[in-house]
Structure 1
């Protein structure tokens, strides 16, 4: 052994390699090196004198291992201090590197050393057991393989590369297979048939050799026992078993019982049954065989639609050594049962369907199938509801859902169609499939207003841009087909213009195209325009667009924007009508507060109560309550000898005039309308109290001087005496004039009383003078309307009636008829106060029916019906 290790150690020491990389030294030493073998000469490599190494205490520091090398105290060299076993230190790891530290004190320095322990072939191959018993049946065929366990070698590299040899034998040989790059595994191969009676046991030696120099070996004895032959295989009484079962057979149902026999004795005749080779393979989860009895039963559910026939084999194996087996085939036919409902699929769906789609349009394609067979798989289909769709079939299992009736999206916008399928089984099974069929819109509906005619009330003097009403037209179509825009149609004239001719409706009102809001372009003036009639069109955005229209009648509601005005007399005076007892003076005082000029009248002492002295005449350009005037004595308040008729304006004596009343009475009379707020005008009346004869002369004198407006005093001196002659003439003229007026009033009253009413009320009339108060005087009406004059005596007021008189349109296209003749309705009227109790316009005691209102709309004022003056 020393002869072997000496050259190796010297060689390793001579050829050792060392390197200093980043302050690290590297040495190599073979395992099993002798104690004292020099690994490296440290003083030379560290630059330290050999004698100083001990003095500076150079030593090895191990990291968690026992010290296998140390520093020699004499020479300072790194030497082996104990046995180095690479397999113990590193096992199969390669390379085997040990890390240690060299500590040099005085001064203190640390050096890192890597020591590599190299492998030598010091381990022989080793088998897991020294002997292995193998049993082989005598009927085993040549070529049969029997795997053997390989040996192991603790060395690495070439020292662990193993090769195997087998002792000579005419029946067996070795076959080496590489299990991986490092190991090989031997197989024992039978080369010649065995005969137990000639050689019952074969003994062989398996040798493993490694690749070291010199090579080391290990051995294992193989003892091969030849087993007796089981030379009779089991036999079935049938080679093929055919069975039929319905697919709804429950689990545990007996399919068939197979039977096999074996002529051997003992364990060689004991049989076990197994099922193999299932076609289809899922049969192994459905069918099982009892290993002892050979009974085949169902362990799962059969399904005709998945497998019609199951083919499998039954193996009967005896318990001989080696065991022998026999086989038979089993064919299980599955009978169909109606256990599958039909299935319906929608293979194509063309939606949405336009509502103008023609009859016969294919909406969807459907596929119908039933996994059953025969009558169980024959399917009939129907559709519900039966309209407006139907089913057509040109090929088996394929149906078309077609349109049978015309669609109307506005009536039904979406259909839930149900396709029903039913097979021919007993009992039959059914299936349903819902199909959602939306209907797309087509522009087949024109916009439609809720009313053919809209009646709108608007107050005069409304601000420009004020909303008058909102019109809305319904279009049942959707999207652009149902998006409506509004406009005025200028094809119809709007209203007569006070300046002459006709003005278009667009000069008064406008319609918002999107919202249908009707708004005023300019402030409305009732005195200029009482009623405006025009047409509004609604057009949708479809292709082509459809149109609907409606007529709007806009009635202007009067506002109290005109104060009462005193009417002039024929002689030029303002506000007074002459009577036998007095004459009128010159001017009036308005509500604005301007100075009032004095009006003159004369009355005789001793005049009885109720004697009319004068009559104040006034008119209001407004209508209704706003033009209904009332007269009041503003001054003096209290016990005045005069009073004024509340609605007639007649100034009369309240009692018998006495000389104590003085020579002159001054009255301030206020004329007010009934508007809110009311407007007024004032007049100052000066009444001179004279003797009866003087009153007649004064009346005649005032008639001659009324044009100039000069007031003649009661005490005239020489001037009054000179005029007395002409006064008598004028007195006669005045009496004749008054008598003529009285006769004319009676004639008119009789004509109106006995004339037929239909003739009076027929036809439009321009502005006319109409019959007025109970005393038979005349009052002017500014309304353009039809009139009726009735006079029933001095104690009752007259009645003037205005019926609807719409302005006729100028020549042009006629208004388009609307399709929905619904009754008119008032839209969005915004009135600050309700209508007066009566729809009449009162002017100087008259009642006037507003334009645009029918006779049925009249609400009579009890004061007007009674015809009494409220004074």
Structure 2
């Protein structure tokens, strides 16, 4: 009994260890859901996105998906609300047979960035299976000699459900001879026996019919029945007996065939053949046990017959019958519990659950490339697995993530242009002895990013285009390369905006954006454009786009497309040459111009269509025509020379002109100088002709405008003079006479309607007389001012030199009143003028209606200017059509006199233009404009 208890505790510990191993996976999971088996499609499991803390709006874009170790996908996630639901109906009995806990491990993976979660779904058993006996009828043969209390094993019913849903009770139909006895191991009824309550009497009843019913503990309660037919035999009365009813043993998995597992020993108290014992496997054991173990019928040795796999079955329960050889054989029973010991016979299983390829070449360190799940069906240290990468120089690294899961991450810089694909060999190794490994090669493609700009073979290139090229002709092909691929290497070409003499370069050149072919949009003319630069830009289609530039130095080559041209003056030109000229005498020189350059513009000259022998020769290089011999009497008096100018281009182009040479006697006067004429011819060009024409046109327009303006002004002046005559009395009465005011100021009174440029001003001097240069110069009269620094202002000088001509007569009278408008003077350049100063109002212009006359510093009171006694009443100002008349009235009551100055029109007289040089100098000396500074 003590040994039985010891074995029972040992078995209990072993079972607890197995259960603890099963619970370990549950503890390590991040989420644990429980659902009943047989759940229909769409059954709610859990809000997986909410429980994992994922944003529902991102699970679709981040491609949330579930990976299961099994081939079937029992679950699915609704990407709209993040709910995990049942996809296929789950039968726990077929999925997890003989397992107390049925857990389906799931890997929940989201991308961008890659994240992985561990979720376990426990399948809860439901009572969906009724107890079932292996046969509907069980036949038992029991000797009548069997004493009361004898036990007869009966095959138990099978129920794939677990826990309370499995078989919890057996009931036997009412019988006075038999009762039912069963024992539970690990809350399960593993053995069932009929117990004889009292000895059988075959003479009373030889056959007993019983009904055995098995009940499970589920709701609703399910049951199964079998009929037991017991035949009473009156034979051998002692059955073989084992030394103990329960045995324990162990065997290593993968044990070879014939390995001894256990040796049984049974005894029978009978003698003879009734005591001879044979061993047989009970007909109550499962077929898989019969396939794995064999039993020696004579010695009771249990040996390995089939394949033992710890990963399939960890424990076997073998029922043994010991049968004697009596006429009525009697049977003894025992049980052998065989535990399978695990060995490291399973290499790790590697599965790539997520592979994010291709990997961008700019991926930072730590970017997850793949998630690798490694599982080892062994247990203990044999099931512990580690992963590593074989190559040491690989830019990738593998790190553990969760239990059995590893992440392949970027561990170094990636450059697709150097290497666009990696073969990473991932090796998984367990900790068994000897350790087992498995390797898997991952091909990781490196995707391109736009990290290389297009490159030209050279940044500067030179091309030449012949002028007169056809518009649209292909002149160059820009070619750039980009080591990137795909869109990042798609190059488009463009011309950078620039201008040539203010014209956009796009008007000259165009480029095909796809192949870089450059076309000339116009026909170039070397005579207009000889060189320009074109900047080509190559841009890829990456994000962001990268570009580089190419500078094209474009030269326009000249072709012979312009013929030489002579000046129009050479046409029909007649040159006179003395007959007495000596050989070598230069007659004339012709010159032709060519707009081309180089050899295309190099000229050579020769005569054409020569009739007879002429005494002239022409220099091919310079075009100089000279005498090659003496003039003979037989020579003609006039020659017509046809000169041909020829350039050196291909094809040769020419120009023709005619030169007439007249031979004259040496005594005749030449009408023009040959050398000057030749210089004029050489300097004369089309541009000069155009310039002369333009100047003539502009001058004509100016003269017409000036004449019209003069006519209009003259009409206006006549109207103003008439108005001035009518207003004369008003002006003289209000203005008073020439008087000296308290402020030593003089004001010219004029018609307010008169134009501003219709004023003539007479300035007083120190001798109280009017300074009129003509009169003073003729009479020797030299008036002096009190201060030698008297000067006019610059504005007044200009006004006096351009005095206005007036028709008719007008009187300007000085008034003794103060200045009505105080204007700042233009002649303020002198800080403190010592002499007198005449200033017009600033802003009013030179021809203003109000002028102010001042004397020196402080404006001391000066005597009223007086007219000299010998001053004529009428005199003429040189250069002016006006006649000035001055008269002086009697002194007024205040002692002042009024001086009247009258302007009248000067009579025109006809004078001859011939003057001697002395008279000119005298007139020049009497010009009033030369004495303005006095």
| TM-score, scaled to structure 1 | 0.44
Relative to the length of structure 2, the TM-score reads 0.41
Greater RCO between the two (CA within 8 Å, min separation 6)? 1
